[in-house]
Structure 1
Amino acid sequence: MRDWLKAFRPATFRGVPFFVEVEEAEGGRRVAVSPIAYSDLHVTEDMGGQVRPFILSAYIAGDTSDVSTRSFVSALNAPGAATLILPMLGPVLVRVPHWRLSRERARAGYVGFEIDFVPAGLPALPFAAVPGALVIASLIAAGIDMIAAATAFRMRDVAPGQAAPSALAVTSAASRMTAVADASELTEDKRPAIADAIATITRLAAEPVAQASAIASAIVATVGVIADSASPAEAVEAFAVASVPAGDDVFELVSAAAFAAGFCQTLAAGDYLSRQDARRARDRISPVVDPVLDALSAGLDVSVNEWLSDIAATAASDLSAVAANRAPLVTVQTEISLPATALAYALYGDAGRAGELARRNSVATPAAMPISFEAIAP
């Protein structure tokens, strides 16, 4: 029979422990309902997910409840987002819009709390559109603490003598990270810091149980730095290869999730000149991310799955917006083979775009373009 007392996690917020009496969550979709005049029918439109609050009846109890209550109140009042670990729902990055405490004379040593938490969401950047790659970078950074907590929870019951597969998985993740960094054409100022971070991950592999949280944090943070600094065209292919799940060890799953997130960020950061280019990029997301999500659903906390799903959805939405604002590709036919410079001038009034025509059509000799080729509509 399942031991429920061991199944649930100890609850903490900003690292301050507390007890949970009732754990509640809400969810749903924002559905716009538009009635049709003179009809029994109506139109519904999905406007996205509702904000999903977490509502807790919590308490502090014991001989030091007065001191513990002050620490907990300080954590609740502190500005900014922080990691909340819930007994059943696991770790999530949240903010605290409202809380209330109560103490009763007849229950000395017991302090009750009613607390509302909301997911941290994206940082506010008023008066400016946020490019998809920057939003994804923010999501990757926001998930570091949550993934570290989920990893430490998974490793809590692993004996040090049974940690060999995990040590190997960490070493493999560091090796793949090096391959991605080498392929990404990083700027010279970023290379030493990334190399040091990868070396640190390799050293920590010797103690995968004791250092589980630190290893997971370092993997996600280092992948984020690589994605921020990389040349998108080169990095996106390397991230796609590295994100293929190589096993079910917790560190294999963490690294696959991190690499898939880096793939989405570099994909969204690419330069797509035509509508079809952006659509083709968007269509690459599911084949890379879906296998990782499938692996995560069986091997890590659901919050990690949701984190990667949000990143993939952000990349897809951004690429759809790019596609909607780009000119389409068209097929150009000429009666004879002409130089790319002449064709670029005829199409765009700019002979400097000859290289673009040659690259798009994989032409080795721009002086003689084929009589039928693809070009962005003028």
Structure 2
Amino acid sequence: MRDWLKAFRPASFRGVPFFVDYEDAEGGRRVSVSPIAYSDLHVTEDMGGDVRRFSLSAYVAGDAADINARAFTAALNAPGAATLVLPMGGPVLVRVPRWSLSRERSRAGYVGFDIEFVAAGLPSLPFAAVPGALAIASLITAGIDMIAAATAFRMRDVAPGQAAPSALAAASAASTMTAVADASELPEDKRPAVADAIATITRLAAEPVAQASSIAAAIVSTVGAIADVASPAEAVEAFAVAAVPAGDDVFDLVSAAAFAAGFCQTLAAGDYLSRQDARRARDRISPVVDPVLDALSTGLDVSVNEWLSDIAATAASDLSAVAANRAPLVTVHTEVSLPATALAYALYGDAGRAGELARRNSVATPAAMPISFEAIAP
């Protein structure tokens, strides 16, 4: 018979432990229902996933209940998203819209909490249209549960005594995430949440069999969180390097798949000024993603392969559309060397684009541009 006391995970938020009396979760799909006039039929349209919400009745208890309650309260009040580990649901990135505390005189040493959490989602709604990057972010989120299930299925026959390679691979994935996050120049206010999620993966890596689905879900969701807020130009190389499978363990493959997806998202989020820039970005997808797809074909469920293929196709399609709407690069020839400001004004009527010309042509001294250089067609 299953030992239910050992089946559940220790609950924590921002790394602060607590106990749970009950946990509620709700979600679903936003379905639009459109009746058809003079008909018994109607049309339903899937408008995307609804907001995931979690409600907890939690508590801290013991001789240090007052100290633990203050620490837990500080974690709940801290700004930004952070990792919530639920006893049955596993880790998830959330925000805290509301909480309340209660204490009774007759229950000294016990402090109760009623808390509402919502899935973190995007940090903000961008005004600049980046449809490809947003679509890929949605695909990454949609794949979390599927990849978690596929990982647990692959780990089902691994004996705990034979799980050392998987524990090492999961810990290595957390280390790689730290390196990618550092290279991606994350905003200061986003770094604590990412660091907290990576620390959770490191802790779960000690039990790679029992926590297989939670580790896989945390890897994919954390990489998605990094890709959402990374500076694309700096992140592209970091994601591309991390997407190379470190080995053939299931967590190596999950990590490679997640980073390949993050690579596609950062490419799609890039700012491409010319047609050739966007095409060059599109041509980078296949060399990075194809080796990962080959590794996934034998190491994980085919659904994971299809998931990454969809992400790569979305990125390629978006970059092709960007390329079609950008001016081409041309080669400009001048009789003598001129300052970049004079050339920018002559080409675009805007001397402020002098820096663009200097950067594109790797010119250290903008006051003396070469007599032959690349520029975006005016």
State the TM-score, normalized to the length of structure 1: 0.67
Q: How does 1:1-378 map to 2 (within 5 A)?
A: 79-80=28-29, 131-378=131-378
Q: How many residues align?
A: 267
Structure 1 residues 98-128: Cα deviation after superposition (integer angstroms, max 9, x where no partner): xxxxxxxxxxxxxxxxxxxxxx89669xxx9
Cα separation, 2, equivalents of 1:357 and 1:314 = 31
The answer as to whether partners of 1:245 and 1:292 remain within 8 angstroms in 2 is: yes
Cα separation, 2, equivalents of 1:129 and 1:235 = 20
Going from structure 1 to structure 2, the CA distance change for 1:121 and 1:155 (only over 3 Å counts) comes to: farther
1:64 aligned residue = none
Consecutive unaligned residues in structure 2, runs of 5 or more: 1-26, 34-45, 51-127
TM superposition shift of 1:365: 0.5
TM superposition shift of 1:246: 1.3
Identity rate of aligned residues, in percent?
Answer: 89
Cα separation, 2, equivalents of 1:133 and 1:326 = 18
1:61 aligned residue = none
SS at match of 1:373: strand
TM superposition shift of 1:234: 0.4
Letter in 2 for 1:80: R
Cα separation, 1, equivalents of 2:28 and 2:234 = 39
Cα separation, 2, equivalents of 1:179 and 1:263 = 14
SS at match of 2:29: coil
The answer as to whether partners of 2:29 and 2:47 remain within 8 angstroms in 1 is: no
Structure 1 residues 59-83: Cα deviation after superposition (integer angstroms, max 9, x where no partner): xxxxxxxxxxxxxxxxxxx8429xx
Going from structure 1 to structure 2, the CA distance change for 1:121 and 1:252 (only over 3 Å counts) comes to: farther
TM superposition shift of 1:129: 7.5
Going from structure 1 to structure 2, the CA distance change for 1:237 and 1:129 (only over 3 Å counts) comes to: closer
TM superposition shift of 1:171: 1.0
TM superposition shift of 1:130: 6.5
Cα separation, 1, equivalents of 2:248 and 2:134 = 30
Cα separation, 1, equivalents of 2:49 and 2:28 = 13
Cα separation, 2, equivalents of 1:344 and 1:372 = 14
Letter in 2 for 1:262: G
Cα separation, 2, equivalents of 1:168 and 1:122 = 37
Cα separation, 1, equivalents of 2:286 and 2:237 = 15
Cα separation, 2, equivalents of 1:129 and 1:226 = 19
The answer as to whether partners of 1:256 and 1:292 remain within 8 angstroms in 2 is: yes
TM superposition shift of 1:165: 0.5
Structure 1 residues 26-79: Cα deviation after superposition (integer angstroms, max 9, x where no partner): xxxxxxxxxxxxxxxxxxxxxxxxxxxxxxxxxxxxxxxxxxxxxxxxxxxx84
Letter in 2 for 1:321: A
SS at match of 1:336: coil
2:93 aligned residue = none
State the TM-score, normalized to the length of structure 2: 0.67
Cα separation, 2, equivalents of 1:79 and 1:247 = 36
RMSD of aligned Cα (Å): 2.5
TM superposition shift of 1:198: 0.5
The answer as to whether partners of 1:329 and 1:374 remain within 8 angstroms in 2 is: yes
Consecutive unaligned residues in structure 1, runs of 5 or more: 1-77, 82-94, 98-119
Cα separation, 2, equivalents of 1:249 and 1:298 = 11
Letter in 2 for 1:350: D
Cα separation, 1, equivalents of 2:233 and 2:253 = 25
Cα separation, 2, equivalents of 1:129 and 1:238 = 24
